[in-house]
Chain A
Amino acid sequence: GIQVEQSPPDLILQEGANSTLRCNFSDSVNNLQWFHQNPWGQLINLFYIPSGTKQNGRLSATTVATERYSLLYISSSQTTDSGVYFCAVANQGGKLIFGQGTELSVKP
């Protein structure tokens, strides 16, 4: 099955810094999503981005489907950005396969 790798696994930032999270996948996909998991476990949809570039406030994402990777950019990070960020992809049957996540900690 399809493999999903996220990097880095952990990231510590000072408030105000920028960061880039990466997601590599091993096969062509028809769905790619980025999520933020809050402390209560809820998965917050950040981007649905099987290809192209999108922006939402301080967050943006780019997926280069032909090269099988996606990037999530966080600018001017805030303490509330802390948590685990997951990339998930699907290529058949709608089954999302998750990466291992990046745990982000933003210090004041």
Chain B
Amino acid sequence: GAVVSQHPSRVICKSGTSVKIECRSLDFQATTMFWYRQFPKQSLMLMATSNEGSKATYEQGVEKDKFLINHASLTLSTLTVTSAHPEDSSFYICSASRGPEGTEAFFGQGTRLTVV
């Protein structure tokens, strides 16, 4: 299957600082990537759609100024958690598909963010 790589896998940061998470498609180009968030013992919630060369589309209730998404190339999307607070601590995971809408999606390894 297609390979999606996410970095870092784990990060601890202090309140008020910003953290950048990278999502790369290693063996294919992805014009669209997706970012999800998962709290302990819960399901994955879609946060936003990352579009190469244009602005991200955020789901209702997700603060676009807190979760900055940049999709500068066909193989890289980044999620920056700005001015992080303890309530932002969560598991963040990205996905991408090799083909058009409706094709199989592959997920990165995820990033566990802890804000202290």
Contacts and interface: CB of A to CB of B under 8 A. Distances in A.
Contacts of B104: 31, 33, 45, 48
A43 B107 contact: yes
Given A31-B103, A45-B1, A98 B110 contact: no
A43 B32 contact: no
B112 A41 contact: yes
Interface string B83-116: 0000000010101010011111111011010000
Contacts of B45: 98
Interface residues of A, number: 24
Interface residues of B, number: 26
Contacts of B95: 96
Interface in B1-56: 1, 32, 34, 36, 38, 42-46, 49
Contacts, number: 67
Contact of B93 (A43, A94, A99): A43
Contact of B49 (A31, A33, A88, A93): A93
B2 to A, nearest CB: 9
B110 A42 contact: yes
13 contacts: A31-B105, A40-B110, A41-B91, A42-B109, A45-B104, A88-B44, A90-B101, A94-B100, A95-B34, A95-B49, A96-B46, A96-B95, A98-B36
Nearest 3 A-B pairs (CB), nearest first? A30-B102, A48-B104, A43-B107
